[in-house]
Amino acid sequence: MSETNNINIKPRSRVTTGALPASQKIYTSPDDAPHLRVPFRAVRTADPQNQLIRIYDTSGPYTDPEVHIDIDQGLPGLRKDWITARAVEAYQGRQIKPEDNGTVNPAQLAQAFARTVAPLRGTGKAPLTQYEMACAGIISEEMIYVAERENLGRKQQFEQAQQSLEGGENFGASLPAFVTPEFVRSEIARGRAIIPANINHPELEPMIIGRNFLVKINANIGNSAVTSSIEEEIDKMVWAIRWGADTVMDLSTGRNIHHTREWIIRNSPVPIGTVPMYQALEKVNGIAEKLDWEVFRDTLIEQCEQGVDYFTIHAGVRLAYIHLTADRVTGIVSRGGSIMAKWCLHHHKESFLYEHFGDICDIMRRYDVSFSLGDGLRPGSIADANDKAQFSELETIGELTRVAWSKGCQVINEGPGHVPLHKIKENMDKQLRECGEAPFYTLGPLTTDIAPGYDHITSGIGAAMIGWYGTAMLCYVTPKEHLGLPNRDDVKTGVITYKIAAHAADLAKGHPIAQIQDDAISRARFDFRWEDQFNLSLDPETARSFHDETLPKEAHKLAHFCSMCGPKFCSMKISQEVRDYASRLNDKTQGMAQMSDRFQELGNELYVSSNTLKKNKAELQVGSPDNAD
Amino acid sequence: MSETNNINIKPRSRVTTGALPASQKIYTSPDDAPHLRVPFRAVRTADPQNQLIRIYDTSGPYTDPEVHIDIDQGLPGLRKDWITARAVEAYQGRQIKPEDNGTVNPAQLAQAFARTVAPLRGTGKAPLTQYEMACAGIISEEMIYVAERENLGRKQQFEQAQQSLEGGENFGASLPAFVTPEFVRSEIARGRAIIPANINHPELEPMIIGRNFLVKINANIGNSAVTSSIEEEIDKMVWAIRWGADTVMDLSTGRNIHHTREWIIRNSPVPIGTVPMYQALEKVNGIAEKLDWEVFRDTLIEQCEQGVDYFTIHAGVRLAYIHLTADRVTGIVSRGGSIMAKWCLHHHKESFLYEHFGDICDIMRRYDVSFSLGDGLRPGSIADANDKAQFSELETIGELTRVAWSKGCQVINEGPGHVPLHKIKENMDKQLRECGEAPFYTLGPLTTDIAPGYDHITSGIGAAMIGWYGTAMLCYVTPKEHLGLPNRDDVKTGVITYKIAAHAADLAKGHPIAQIQDDAISRARFDFRWEDQFNLSLDPETARSFHDETLPKEAHKLAHFCSMCGPKFCSMKISQEVRDYASRLNDKTQGMAQMSDRFQELGNELYVSSNTLKKNKAELQVGSPDNAD
């Protein structure tokens, strides 16, 4: 509830800092850009083959003991100098108005973040957006940074990288064995990838979203009119990135929206996305019909100046498509979609988002805010999947994607939703076709509707599949989906579930660095290095606590068994004995190989010819007795 | 721990009984067999289209208030008369020996279930196994029973059944629109399905496992040398079937194995599977080399007489294959597989399971115990998936499947394990090819190794996919996998996760009855019938508690919003307004359809021709200014 929304708010008190178990923050610098410091998490293990396992790290300075965290100050401006060297100008900026925070009464107005710098905007005198720079052949610091990051700081490709790619199935993607800054540039110029990075969000550690890079995940946070405070939302953001969220969407719909967002952006090392329509609607007291271009435009500029990195814009919800939803089982389930549908019907007019799309591009271009073209008509149930309403909107999204590119903007497209397994691939294939391979950003999809309370799982299944097929970023779903606002635990469960889905997809695509962590943890498992198994896992704390429920003693961390089978039965233990035995044999003779030849032919003894099978079968028909003991 | 393993054990005290929320137990009778009573769960809803939703029910008498549950007595012998009318004889049976319970000292010997009936065995004078009867053209009561059960008691096919099948993708399966007893017989005779049902387990409510029926799930329980008691295991069994486990495997490896199993079988309405090797090993004090055919044979008969419905037999682990595992990352991870590998190497001999396979068939046939041919060489890590060791064993399993059929036995085959997404289908296709479409029974597969503590999810992803591809039964994995023995909560989480996977697979295959529950819950969601949404879900208690965390009041059960978005923003609410508005319009004019035509052409206004795109792009290259606001 909102009791904590008052000027005594002390956000810092709740934020989680410190490294994960056995982990340390390390930084590497690209050869051609020694001034860049790209962060990774390194896990110390007792693995003879690999004592320091490097892992992609989304957690930012919060897990670096060297960095002093002060929520009131916000994070350091990592990108400040890169940005100011470009065609930008500082300016007065828009005045904050009471309606920006939902016109709350003073007692409930949250403390404002003490912002010290004026907003920047592009002068238009030179390429500014990552897309414009890429098209102009410019390789930005952000491009160099993400290349280093995607390679896990490798200086050249692993021997097995090419092999790994050839062993995978990527459905026509073009993953490289090694990511170069030039490859990043070319992918962005082709519209196949984006680096969401508003020039007013210098605190950002750049990351890339595209089919030919690691699959990313987004975590949604945000207070609602019913519950939660700014303090909780900042904590959720830091908590989400600690467990692996690559971007965070602030979907706040309650009071204090402006202040909440400012606190989050100033303290966020990951791109922040929003749905500006939510705040615009608050400004007209939740009455959709009262929305218009002016209030929406004003909201866009407000959020551009704050540093939001990508906007969900539901410009594909056209008047002509709304009637297609009338016979659906669950109608329109996207908030933005339903708001625009209501507006269109009330005014008997085409959507002002669609009609002003060019103007929206012009605004977003000046701050390099990326488009996330929203799927306002996505299916909300298995019954409505892949219907005409959904696919008509997708075709319009394809059209708008090309418009945005022509205006110099970065674009990703949002996808469903609720889709049964056999209809998932059609979504991916149609998006690639209609939208010129712009990165796809899907919610789930949920593969069945019968498990509220477990929709992180119903959707994690669909997410892994569509990620494998080519989706670039997966929007998480928490166990609370359809039931309530996720709390801290739900956020963690959602993030871990989606890290699993994204990683399973990377493995299947044969991504060169995907299997390193799997192999390291598997070796730890086989060697009974329990500590390493815990520390290398997505959630070391949970892994350890589950193990310790039944075997809490420190001695058990070295035991060659766990409580699943007990000491006598551990197959890993027996199988190590088998291996040792075999190697002893090998010293004496050629060992197993030789033996196996000797016994190869045994197989035939038991083989029953098809004639015998027929004969026996014939006997069965008349129920002949057999002479079993 | 085992402290409760004493004669004061009161298992009944822990078992959960009573119906699920808003649910009642109903029974239907097939037209051609009015004496059969097939159970279902019926959920009462306020859905105008369907006020009583019928759901497949695995929970047995425990959810029927009419039945008095007495664990000491065991369940009624539903199948007793069917079985005694067949070619069976009662006989003295084998004496229980101290080693059957791991030679525990008297203080730790568990109370024995007071069994009153002598075991039965086949006389061999007529077809006895479901496979023999099916081949002889006999339709058993079990076949009629499962047909009714698979149809959810429908008396004829729904109109949309055929349509539903055509809308699905089943990869060459042959699902019927309506299941007849003759179809069941023919599938069993072809070896494509089994009804696991030991003649000494009359308490069983028959169920069928096959690619052309609903996908089933198995839950593993069982105490280990380290922890848990009989009481806990009976409770886990009842708990597992309450949430939807179709079969239960008792993998006990500690003391009191015989007594534990007896208590479980006498109280189980679902098929019970075991791995006899585990008990055999206990009988030789855990020293694999000491195993021989005599002790194994004796254990098989012991368990056949108790009423175990299917045995995992690792007869495919041949001496010739063992060296193929030497270079694996995780060697041999199957307990049975590693035990046999050790035995083979020590004796330099072919596996006695392989050499005595015909004898094993002869024993299992007399009790109609089904084979579950174990995959002792399944991969234990992503790195080892689909390797030569695994596939060589699968080929031998195919060979043994045909031998078992020729001996009159029912057979299913076990599958992996740990497999990345892109290598899953190859497993299914090869199994269908090598094993003549015998039902496939897979563990997971886990699609990544990096998430111990969440392996119900890493494996639920693979399970949904392989279930869709054609796997007949999915063996659950709990969150404790690799870490410890699952407790009651883990069992429930594992079962719910696998019900999701199995159901997602049925939906994708277009199973005629699969989507009923999805549509019912989706309608409830759209109508804000919160109670119905909770009650129709796989886990009503969790769904309700999640909702009530933020909106506990009864009034909120009728509210047209939840705490995710709050009252102003609920898309479902807005979308209902849109629908109402549209229908009002329709009364006046042709409404939306007409409007949409009027606005159809608007799309073109905004369309940017490819020439314009090229032109704009050209400008970008030189970074031309644009006149954004």
- Is pLDDT above 60 for A610? no
pLDDT value of residue A168: 96
**Above 70 in pLDDT, residue A577?**
yes
Single pTM value for the model = 0.92
Bridge partners, residue A88, by sequence: A122
Q: One-letter amino acid identity for A501? A: A
Please state the rounded mean pLDDT for residues A30-52. 93
Beta bridge partner(s), residue B372: B312, B412
Mean pLDDT of the region A278-287:
93
The ipTM is 0.92
Model confidence at A568, in pLDDT bands (50, 70, 90)? Answer: low
Which tens digit of pLDDT belongs to each residue from A6-38? 333 444 457 999 999 999 999 999 988 999 999
Question: Mean pLDDT, to the nearest integer, of A374-381?
Answer: 97
Look at residue B5 in the predicted model and tell me its pLDDT: 37
Of the candidates A317, A367, A363, the one whose C-alpha atom is nearest the C-alpha of residue A339 is: A317
Q: What is the pLDDT of residues B86-145, one digit of tens each?
A: 999 999 999 999 999 988 888 888 889 998 899 999 999 999 999 999 999 999 999 999
Element (H, E) at A27: strand A23-28
Testing the interface with A: which of B229, B289, B575, B622 to mutate, by most A Cβ within 10 A? B575
Residue B67: other Cβ atoms inside 10 A:
14
Which token pair is A533?
């198994």
Is B287 in the A-facing interface, judged by CB distances under 8 Å?
no
Four-residue CA torsion sign, A153, A154, A156, A161: negative
Task: Say if residue B411's pLDDT is above 50.
Answer: yes
Beta strands in A342-484 (DSSP E): 370-373, 411-415, 440-443, 473-475
Contact with chain A for residue B505, Cβ under 8 A? yes
Annotated binding site of A: 220, 249, 278, 314, 334-336, 375-378, 414, 418, 441, 482, 562, 565, 570
B616: confidence class by pLDDT, cuts 50, 70, 90: low
CA nearest neighbour of A199 among A494, A410, A450 = A410
Cβ-Cβ contacts under 8 Å, A616 against chain B: 406-408
Distance from CA of B311 to the nearest CA of A (A): 17
Average model confidence (pLDDT) across chain A:
89
Annotated binding site of B for [4Fe-4S] cluster: 562, 565, 570
pLDDT number for residue B606: 37
Cα-Cα-Cα-Cα dihedral of B495, B497, B500, B506, to 10°?
A: -70
Other CB atoms within 10 A of residue A122 CB: 23
Are A518 and B254 inside 8 Å of each other by CB?
Answer: no
Which residues of A participate in the annotated binding site for substrate? 220, 249, 278, 314, 334-336, 375-378, 414, 441
Compute the distance between CA of residue B482 and CA of residue B446 in angstroms, rounded to an integer.
12
B581: burial class by Cβ within 10 Å (0-12, 13-18, 19+)? middle
What pLDDT sits at residue A358? 98
A69: DSSP letter? P
pLDDT tier at B572, thresholds 50, 70, 90: confident
Q: What is the pLDDT of residue B550?
A: 82
Rounded to a whole number of angstroms, the distance from the CA of A68 to the nearest CA of chain B is 31
Whole-angstrom distance, CA of residue B211 vs CA of residue B170: 9
> What does the pLDDT read at residue B407?
98
Tens of pLDDT, residue by residue over B432-470, are: 999 999 999 999 999 999 999 999 999 999 999 999 999
Chain A environment of B592 (Cβ under 8 Å): 322-323, 326, 345
pLDDT digits (tens, 9 = 90+) for B136-188: 999 999 999 999 999 999 887 767 888 899 999 999 999 999 999 999 999 99
Q: What percent of chain A has pLDDT over 90?
A: 76
State the smallest CA–CA distance between residue B11 and chain A in angstroms.
22
Phi-psi region of A452 (alpha: psi -120 to 50; beta: other; left: phi over 0): beta
Predicted confidence (pLDDT) at residue B599 exceeds the cutoff of 50: no
Contact map slice: A 190-219 vs B, CB within 8 A: none
User: Measured in Å, how far apart are chain B's first and last C-alpha atoms?
Assistant: 73
* B586 confidence band (pLDDT: 50, 70, 90): low
3-state secondary structure at position B524: helix
Half-sphere exposure of A257 (CA within 13 A, CB side): 30
Q: What percent of chain B has pLDDT over 70?
A: 88
> In 3D, which of A435, A330, A437 has the Cα closest to residue A378?
A330
Per-residue model confidence as pLDDT tens digits over A86-135: 999 999 999 999 999 988 888 888 889 998 899 999 999 999 999 999 99
Residue B623 has pLDDT above 50, yes or no: no
pLDDT per position as a tens digit, A414-433: 999 999 999 999 999 999 99
Any B CB within 8 A of A318 CB: yes
A628 touches chain B (CB under 8 A): yes
Give the pair of three-digit tokens for residue A157: 């490709």
B511 contact A CB<8A:
no
What SS3 state is found at A440? Answer: strand
Look at residue B252 in the predicted model and tell me its pLDDT: 87
Query: Out of A265-274, B212-221, B555-564, B601-610, which region has the weakest mean confidence (pLDDT)?
Result: B601-610
Taken in order A330, A335, A341, A347, the sign of the CA dihedral is: positive
Q: Assess whether pLDDT exceeds 70 at residue A69.
A: yes
What is each CA distance from A293 to A296, A347, A554, in whole angstroms? Answer: 5, 13, 64
Q: What is the arithmetic mean of pLDDT over A462-483?
A: 97
Token readout for A2 is 């909102």
- CA distances for B388 relative to A35, A115, A597, B392, B395, angstroms: 49, 63, 15, 6, 10
Q: Which residues of B touch A567 (CB under 8 A)?
A: 225-226
pLDDT, position A576: 76
Which tens digits make up the pLDDT trace of B304-354?
999 999 999 999 999 999 999 989 999 999 999 999 999 999 999 999 999
Q: Which candidate, B429, B310, B320, B419, places its Cα nearest to that of B372?
A: B310
Cβ(B379)–Cβ(B446) under 8 Å? no
Q: What is the pLDDT of residue B9?
A: 42
Q: Is the pLDDT of residue A162 over 80?
A: yes
* Residue A617, pLDDT above cutoff 70: no
pLDDT of residue A342: 92
Report chain B residues whose CB lies below 8 A from the CB of A515.
Answer: 382-383
Range in A525-534, A618-627, B61-70, B265-274 the model is least confident about: A618-627
Does the beta-carbon distance from A331 to B464 stay under 8 Å?
no
Phi (first) and psi of residue B28, to 5 degrees = -120, 160
Q: Does residue B284 surpass a pLDDT of 90?
A: yes
Which chain A residue lies closest to B349 (C-alpha atoms)? A599
Cβ neighbour number for residue B286 with a 10 Å cutoff: 16
Contacts of residue A552, defined as CB under 8 A and 6 or more positions apart, other chains included, come to none
Contact A519 B338 (CB under 8 A): no
pLDDT at A7: 37
3 state SS for A317-331: CCHHHHHHHCCCCCC
A335 to chain B: closest CA residue: B571
- DSSP states of A80-143: HHHHHTSSEEE---PPP-GGGGTT--GGGPPPPP---SPPEEE-SSS--SHHHHHHTT---HHH
pLDDT-derived band of residue A252, with 50, 70 and 90 as boundaries? confident
More confident of the two residues A318 and A623: A318
User: Taking the CB of residue B330, how many other CB atoms lie within 10 A of it?
Assistant: 23
Provide the pLDDT for residue B625.
34
Residue pairs between chains A and B whose CB atoms are closer than 8 Å: 588
Among B10-19, B54-63, B196-205, B371-380, name the one with the lowest average pLDDT: B10-19
In chain B, which residues have their Cβ closer than 8 Å to the Cβ of A547? 483-484
- Rounded to whole angstroms, the Cα distance separating B390 from B427 reads 10
At residue A550 the predicted structure's pLDDT band, cuts being 50, 70 and 90, is confident
- Cα separation, B519 vs B522, whole angstroms: 5
Q: In this predicted structure, what is the pLDDT of residue A388?
A: 97
Please provide residue A414's backbone torsions phi and psi, each rounded to the nearest 5 degrees.
-90, 145
Does residue A2 carry a pLDDT above 60?
no
Residue A270 has pLDDT above 90, yes or no: yes
Tokens of B256: 């009191």
